[in-house]
Amino acid sequence: MAEPRPVLEMTGIVKEFPGVRALSGVDFRLFPGEIHALLGENGAGKSTLIKVLTGVHTLDGGSITLSGRPVRFAGPAQAQQAGISTVYQEVNLCPNLSVAENIFIGREPTRFGRIDWKRLRREAAGLVDRLGLDIDVTAPLSSYPLAVQQLVAIVRSVGTADGEGAGTKVLVLDEPTSSLDRGEVLELFALMRRLRDEGVAILFVSHFLDQIYEVCDRMTVLRNGTLVGEHMVRDLDQVGLVQLMIGKALGQLDELHEHQLHADVGEPLLEAEGVGRAGGIEPFDLEIKKGEVIGLAGLLGSGRTELARLLFGADQPDSGKVTVGGKEVAMSAPNDAIGAGVAFCSENRKTEGLIPDLTVRENIILALQAARGWTRPIPTAQRDELVAKYIAALDIRPANPEARVGQLSGGNQQKVLLARWLITRPQLLILDEPTRGIDIGAKAEIQKLVVSLSEEGMAVLYIAAELEEVLRLSHTIGVLRDRKLVARIANGPEITPTRILETIASGEHQ
Amino acid sequence: MTTTPRWRALTHHHLFWPVAVLVVLLLVNIPFTPDFFSIKMTDGHLYGSLVSIVLFGSPLILVAVGMTLVIATGGIDLSVGAVVAITGALTCAHLSEQADQNALSGVFTALAIGLAAAVVCGLWNGFLVARMGIQPIIATLIIMVAGRGVAQLITDGQIITVSSEPYKLIGGGYWLTLPFSIFVVLAVVAVTALLTRRTALGLLVESVGGNAEASRLVGIRSRRIKIMVYVFCALCAGIAGLMISSNTSAADGNNAGLWIELDAILAVVIGGTALTGGRFSIGGTVVGALVIQTLTTTIYTIGVPTQTNLVFKAAVVIVVCLMQSPKFRAKVFGAKRAAQQPPAPAAPADTAPTADAAPKLEVS
Ligand SMILES: Nc1ncnc2c1ncn2[C@@H]1O[C@H](COP(=O)(O)OP(=O)(O)OP(=O)(O)O)[C@@H](O)[C@H]1O
Ligand SMILES: [Mg+2]
């Protein structure tokens, strides 16, 4: 059976950063009409391979051919012109422009030499519609949650891939599904399959192995910047795949599935009464006890993040009151909540989390230092010990406290953000998509960590797009729908993802 | 062409380019002034071009150091020149009314009044930026424009002259063979370095400038920090104002510190602190200010005609800024390297231009 010629071939790719060899001689090929998964642990070099391909980074060695011809792009714009559309891991759109402008930026439809705004909006709305999204394309991008922004980035690249005569040969998607709910994932997959059938080659990165098996035809696995194998998806099962990715058998991965939630939930810690904010979430009551894990479930835009932000004072509630440990907290700014022992790990690590220019160490101690005030720096010895401890505990790579956070791989950045708040030992830890972009091994570690923290008495409010993840960890599940907390369900063996989905759909708990 | 790791580490140090530019500028003077580097002792005072560069550059270093912290928070302070004028005017006005201008108590009250005015200006800027949320460039424009008027009101539109020995010391006197202002600069730089690096202030400033929203969510009281840096910046400008008026024993509300804000901003940028905020380098700023002062001196020593002074200065500044841009260096030196290598098989067949011509072609 003769294979068709690959549309893209990368051979012997080498990329070095000061002190790090991100890729050492990686071969990669992509065939027309296939969905090809690129897999590997956090920091394996997936995003770097993509950025080398599209000219974001210059190549230190190796060669790239596109449709049989050698190419080397000076920048993403050139790659785009040559037919490679890319969605990068960190959404890089303009938050203050409208959705429609973001979709067409750089290739606006023109009429008599001027931008044809009517057509731009109409076409943008059409593209958004095809992904089954119900959003207003004239609203600024920043008014939508991260998941929608991610979808807009996809629409933008697919728009070029899909448009008449666009000539897209290759579509690259670096962790496009990391904050999407099941519904959007399905829409995206349908679109990917359609493009594949039209002959587009798709490169897909994800840490959700189930998604790989659902939609991909072929996969390439990287480990520590080297190629460890290329396989047809049907030839390799999940166990074998994980083994390839981490280089050893992973026995304890399923341990957590059998984990019993501890029963000794303590006295009430935080009580919210009628807390709400116009345009954000309707007034809700919520009680969180010491040692309790509350998971939030709901569809995209149901108000999960909004609820969390109110409990942290990131947005100011315009009604209701919050008490922590019996004392009322003003919630006029995050400071108030932090003072009361509340921590909030935002889903959007790029704009609301990390300071990219600062080092890993500085980012990790930032919350603790802010709480101490500027006059009382953390003593050096204590600081270094704390940082080393959390780098080791979360397996942040490279394990170099001096590395600039902006240069870490996506998953490792996420771990830094987690470390920042864990180090403050809060009473209530609000985690909004804490495992976004984190590889399968580390994900299990983080979930175990949440369990053990709650056993020690820390209360946790946990938000995750994956329902299974929420169910596995939570004592109580808060269900949101249309910006309203519609039900609180005590977790138990009879509670299944289907039950939760039914509750979301009907808006009430039977 | 192999580069040793040592050399690489050196060229990657954040002070490498500013210092290299400074050294080159200093060397340029030698053909014009052969004894440029010599320092002579006369009457127990050290004299020489290097000493004068530091002496005349002192006010700029002070202003630039304050400006560095403001810029690191993502702001900018255009009012420093006006603050220089106000401080000098108030201090000299008070001093000139004294019966005995040499009395220490009178000099100290005059200093205190001048610096207090500077602090008030800083508080005002900080209030507008941090509390009212006004764009820093607009907020500080207010004092930049109105401040000079205030200074002129204080001096009644005249140039106030004083004759006070103790006051003269600050900007024109000598101590331990060196100009006293050098010690003032050393003290201010040392205090700034300690204040920012021995406490957590530097980290919090860089955090606020690096990502304001993330800093808010991490619980940093960024308003307080911003007000602090504007006050500090104004205080530095105030000290510079004292120095300038002390040097000439006069307060000129019109011309004291004129355009110093622009030189200060340039010094900060040459020193490697980005205008977008975030990481800052006090050492870099000091070098940057010295580069600018050396440039000014060089313009005189090599005899650039007065009319073309500013054009010459601008040209040098452009070159310096381009040299600092990694992208530009990659283009110029990258093109050079590519031209020296045999053309890669993938490259189009047209022969590369000569190594000399390549960089110039790429500049456009
Ligand atoms: N600009 C940079 N400067 C220095 N090192 C970098 C830079 N970008 C990436 N690296 C390093 O290269 C390695 C590979 O990173 P990369 O982002 O490709 O990982 P990844 O496979 O995409 O991981 P993840 O699943 O976490 O997104 C990491 O060790 C990372 O720290
Ligand atoms: Mg990545």
> Confidence band (pLDDT; 50, 70, 90) for B3?
low
**Residue the block writes with tokens 């080659």:** A201
**pLDDT value at position A114?**
85
With respect to CATH, is domain A8-246 assigned 3.20.20.70? no
Q: Which atom of ligand 1 is nearest to the CA of A41?
A: 25
> Angle between the A360-372 and B201-210 helix axes, to the nearest 10 degrees?
110
**pLDDT value at position B349?**
33
Q: How far is the CA of A45 from the centre of ligand 1 (A)?
A: 6
Residues B92-140: tens digit of each pLDDT: 999 999 888 889 999 999 999 999 999 999 999 999 999 999 999 999 9
Residues 6 or more apart from A3 whose CB is under 8 A from it? A31
Identity of residue A172? V
A18 touches chain B (CB under 8 A): yes
Tell me the chain B residues in contact with residue A382 when contact means C-beta distances shorter than 8 Å: none
Residue of B nearest to A366 (CA): B218
Residue A139: CB atoms within 10 A of its CB come to 12
**pLDDT value at position A106?**
76
> Confidence band (pLDDT; 50, 70, 90) for B364?
very low
Does the CB atom of residue A52 touch ligand 1 within 6 A? no
DSSP string across A178-192: TT--HHHHHHHHHHH
**pLDDT value at position A445?**
82
* Phi, psi values for residue A289, rounded to 5°: -100, 160
Give the residue from A352, A262, A277 showing the smallest Cα distance to A316: A277
**pLDDT value at position B315?**
87
Domain B53-328 architecture: Orthogonal Bundle (1.10)
**Mean pLDDT for the stretch of residues B303-328:** 82
Contact A367 B219 (CB under 8 A): yes
- The answer to whether residues A420 and A364 touch, using CB atoms and an 8 Å cutoff, is yes
Residue of B nearest to A406 (CA): B210
Residue of A nearest to B216 (CA): A334
**pLDDT value at position A250?**
62
**pLDDT value at position B357?**
32
> Confidence band (pLDDT; 50, 70, 90) for B352?
very low
Question: What angle (nearest 5°) sits at the alpha carbon of residue A147, between those of residues A51 and A301?
Answer: 175
Residues 6 or more apart from A92 whose CB is under 8 A from it? A153
Mutate to test the interface with B, among A355, A369, A402 (most CBs of B within 10 A): A355
Q: Distance from A354 to chain B by nearest Cα, in Å?
A: 6
**pLDDT value at position A2?**
53
Does the CB atom of residue A409 touch ligand 1 within 6 A? yes
**pLDDT value at position A38?**
96
Contact A356 B216 (CB under 8 A): no
Ligand 1 pocket test, pick from A14, A16, A20 with the greatest ligand atom count within 8 Å of Cβ, gives A20
**pLDDT value at position A258?**
52
How distant is the alpha carbon of residue B40 from its chain centre?
27
How far apart are alpha carbons B290 and A21 in whole angstroms? 39
How far apart are alpha carbons A242 and B14 in whole angstroms? 42
Tell me the chain A residues in contact with residue B200 when contact means C-beta distances shorter than 8 Å: 369, 372-378
Q: Which atom of ligand 1 is nearest to the CA of A412?
A: 26
Q: How far is the CA of A398 from the centre of ligand 1 (A)?
A: 9
Tell me the chain B residues in contact with residue A377 when contact means C-beta distances shorter than 8 Å: 198-200, 203
A343-382 residues touching B, CB cutoff 8 A: 344, 346, 351-358, 362, 366-367, 369-378
A74 touches chain B (CB under 8 A): no
User: Does A8-246 match A253-341+427-506 in CATH topology?
Assistant: yes
Contact A338 B219 (CB under 8 A): yes
Give the residue from A283, A420, A301 showing the smallest Cα distance to A364: A420
Per domain, the residue ranges of chain A are 8-246, 253-341+427-506
**pLDDT value at position A316?**
92
Contact A377 B206 (CB under 8 A): no
Residues B266-314: tens digit of each pLDDT: 999 999 899 999 999 999 999 999 999 999 888 888 888 888 888 888 8
**pLDDT value at position B314?**
87
- In this predicted structure, the answer to whether residue B342 has a pLDDT above a threshold of 60 is no
Q: What is the mean pLDDT of each run of 10 residues along chain A (510 residues)?
A: 80 91 94 95 94 94 94 90 89 87 82 84 85 84 85 81 66 90 86 89 93 95 94 91 80 54 81 91 94 91 91 93 92 92 93 94 96 94 96 92 93 94 95 90 86 92 90 92 90 87 76
Mutate to test the interface with B, among A366, A368, A372 (most CBs of B within 10 A): A366
Class of the CATH domain delimited by A253-341+427-506: alpha beta
Cα distances (Å, whole numbers) of residue B75 to A343, B66, B80, B190, B227:
28, 12, 13, 23, 11
Tell me the chain B residues in contact with residue A346 when contact means C-beta distances shorter than 8 Å: 214, 217
**pLDDT value at position A135?**
85
Contact A370 B204 (CB under 8 A): yes
B4-33 residues touching A, CB cutoff 8 A: 12
Mean pLDDT score of chain B: 87
A62 touches chain B (CB under 8 A): no
Contact B206 A358 (CB under 8 A): yes
**pLDDT value at position B334?**
61
